[in-house]
Amino acid sequence: MPPVADISVSREGTIDLVEPHGEYDLANVSQLDAALEQALSDDTTSCMLDLSGVTFLDSTVVRAVVRWSNDAQLSEREALAVVLGEGSFGLRVFELAGLANKLPVFSSRDSARTALLEGQRSRNERQLQWLTDAELTSARSEAEAASEAASRRLHDLDGEQRRRACSDGSRPEEA
């Protein structure tokens, strides 16, 4: 007997909401794929995938979500947000797979909506709330590394400026 499942798709402004309910596995993951493909094919909208109503999902569903998330990330629109809900079956599966912190996963529709709306703006205009926890950690590490490199470069420039001042016979400025 095939899993009992249905998918509702609706639009809220510039966000398509894909909301599957029931059980999803190899037998019906193609329905979820089709809904996500339709929602993500429009370059003017983003997609919120709310898996909080899914009572069972297997690795084929996880694989599909990872693939669609990667595709959306490559578009630089940050066009997919996955809502798993606190304590949901889907959240447990994604945590066990080690993916809950690697994908754009959110515990509520409100936080997912905020991220998607920010993702529709150009990268340099976005607020930091649009980042997932994993992206925020990564961005912080990158910023710290850039800051350390800039400090080293500034130190090197100061040294060169002092060296030149000494070789000109002038008195070096205090550092």
Segment 69-120, tens digit of pLDDT: 888 877 656 689 999 988 889 999 999 999 988 888 998 999 899 888 877 7
Q: Residue 144, exposed/middle/buried by CB under 10 A (0-12, 13-18, 19+)?
A: exposed
**Per-residue pLDDT at 175:** 46
User: What is the rounded distance in angstroms from the CA atom of residue 60 to the CA atom of residue 65?
Assistant: 9
pLDDT at 26 over 80: yes
> Per mean pLDDT, which range of 59-63, 87-91, 123-127, 166-170 is the poorest?
123-127
Mean pLDDT of the chain: 84
pTM (predicted TM-score): 0.69
Q: What percent of the chain has pLDDT over 90?
A: 40
**How many other CB atoms are found less than 10 A from the CB of residue 62?**
19
Non-local (6+) Cβ contacts of 86 within 8 A are 107
Q: Which whole-number Å values give the CA distances from 36 to 10, 27, 41, 100, 167, in the listed order?
A: 12, 17, 8, 19, 67
User: What is the rounded distance in angstroms from the CA atom of residue 39 to the CA atom of residue 77?
Assistant: 13
CATH code 3.30.750.24 region(s) in the chain: 5-130
Q: Which CATH class is domain 5-130?
A: alpha beta
